[in-house]
Amino acid sequence: MLEASARTLAMIWAAKKIIIITHTHPDGDALSSACALLDWLRREGKDVQAYCHDPVPAAYWFLPGADRFLSGLNHPDWQEYDLFIITDCGQMKRTMLVEILSNHRPFQKIIEFDHHPALEHYADIEWRDAQAAATTEVIYDFFNESNIPISQPAATCILTGLVTDTAFFLYPSTTKKTVAVAAAMIRLGARLAKIKDQVWRNKNLSVLRLWGKAMAAIRYNPDYQIAYTVLTEEEIAASGLESEDLEGMAGFMSGLTDIKAFLFLRADKGMIRGSWRTNSDQVSAAQLAGLMNGGGHQKAAGFSLPGRILAQNGQYQII
C-alpha cells in the first residue's frame, strides 16, 4: 500500500480546492470518516469543505468539523473543486451526486475511502478494505502508512466510526485489529465514555416508543428462521421522528436468539427501506439485500425500493 499512500498524498497536495463527500442519511462512520480527513487537511492548511446530502444529525454535532458540512439545501458550485474525497459510500448513488461525479471534468480527481465490498470502480484511487469494521479503520491505515500524525480530534473521529459501526464492538465485524486501533485512539486522547454519551445515550421518549412499536410488531417465520418487523410511514410520522432516529434499531433487534436473520422494513417518503442483519455465518445479509437491488456487508446490508406499506388489522400489504 506504500505506493497507494504516495499516490494519494501527491493527488491531495496537488489539489487546490477539496471537497469531502459522504453518504445520504449519514451514520456515525460516514461523518467520522469525513471529519477525520477534514481535521487533517485543515491542519495542513488545505482549502477543504465537507458535504452530505442530508444535514448532520444532532447526535454527531460533537464531531470536530461537523459544523462545516454543506448539505443538499446549501450545495456548493461543484466546478470549483479539483478533488473529491468520498467516504463510506459503497456505491456512488449514495452520495446523491451521480450526475456530478460521473460527469466530472478531467482536472477533477476522485479518491475513495470505504469498507464496503467493491461493486463499482469510479475513483482514481480506492482505499478499500471489506474486512475493516468501519471506514475510519481504513482511514487509520491511510494515516499510518502515510506517517500522518493523528491529532486528538482525529482520534475521536476514528474511534467514533469504529464504535458506531460495531455497536461498541458487539457486531461480528469487530476484529483484533478493530480493537487494537480503538486502543491506539484512546491512547491518543479519544474518550470512549464521552463518545458513548453522545451517540448512544441520545434516545428520547419518542424514539424509544417507536422502537417499542417496532418490537411489538416482530413476526417470526419458522420455515426460514427469519424474524422481521415493519413500521409504516403513518407510524413514523405520528411519532414526529425522522428515519435517522431509527438508526441502530435493526442491529438491536438482530440480537434475538434462534434466528438466522432479521429484516426491518419501513416506509419513508414513497420508498420502502429494508435492513437485513444476521449473526449467522451461513447467511449473507449482502446477498439477501442484493435480491432487492441493495447491498452492504456480510452481516449488515440494506435496500430501498419505491413503494408503500399499508397496515390493516395487523396485516401488512406492500404496494
Q: Report the distance separating Cα 57 and Cα 52, nearest Å.
A: 11
Q: Applying CB under 5 A, which part among 133-141, 151-159, 173-181, 189-197 lies near Mn ion?
A: 133-141
- DSSP letter at 272? E
Please say whether the beta carbons of 40 and 71 come within 8 A.
no
Print the binding letters for residues 245-264 with Mn ion: x by CB under 5 A, - otherwise: --------------------
Binders of Mn ion in range 281-300 (CB under 5 A): none
Residue partners of 24: CB distance under 8 A and separation at least 6: 52, 53, 54, 94, 95, 96
Q: Look at residues 316, 315, 311 and name the one whose alpha carbon lies nearest to residue 237.
A: 311
Looking at 54, 82, 165, 247, which residue binds Mn ion (CB under 5 A)? 165
Print the binding letters for residues 201-230 with Mn ion: x by CB under 5 A, - otherwise: ------------------------------
Binders of Mn ion in range 61-120 (CB under 5 A): 88
In the complex, minimum distance from the CB of residue 160 to Mn ion, in angstroms, rounded to a whole number: 11
Looking at 22, 29, 150, 276, which residue binds Mn ion (CB under 5 A)? 29
Q: Applying CB under 5 A, which part among 41-49, 161-169, 194-202, 297-305 lies near Mn ion?
A: 161-169
Measured from each CB, the residue nearest to Mn ion is 29
Quick one: 31 or 231, whose CB is closer to Mn ion?
A: 31
Quick one: 138 or 288, whose CB is closer to Mn ion?
A: 138
In the complex, minimum distance from the CB of residue 134 to Mn ion, in angstroms, rounded to a whole number: 5
- DSSP letter at 96? T
Q: What angle do CA 190, 90, 51 make, to 5 degrees?
A: 65
- DSSP H stretches of helix in the chain: 2-14, 28-43, 98-102, 135-145, 152-166, 176-187, 192-199, 205-216, 233-239, 249-253, 285-290
In the complex, minimum distance from the CB of residue 156 to Mn ion, in angstroms, rounded to a whole number: 17
- DSSP letter at 1? -
Residue partners of 277: CB distance under 8 A and separation at least 6: 250, 251, 253, 254, 261, 262, 264, 285, 299, 300
Quick one: 135 or 284, whose CB is closer to Mn ion?
A: 135
Quick one: 160 or 232, whose CB is closer to Mn ion?
A: 160
Cβ burial of 191 (10 Å; 0-12, 13-18, 19+) is middle
The residue count for binding Mn ion (CB under 5 A) is: 4
Quick one: 29 or 82, whose CB is closer to Mn ion?
A: 29
In the complex, minimum distance from the CB of residue 207 to Mn ion, in angstroms, rounded to a whole number: 21
Q: Which residues bind Mn ion (CB under 5 A)?
A: 29, 88, 135, 165
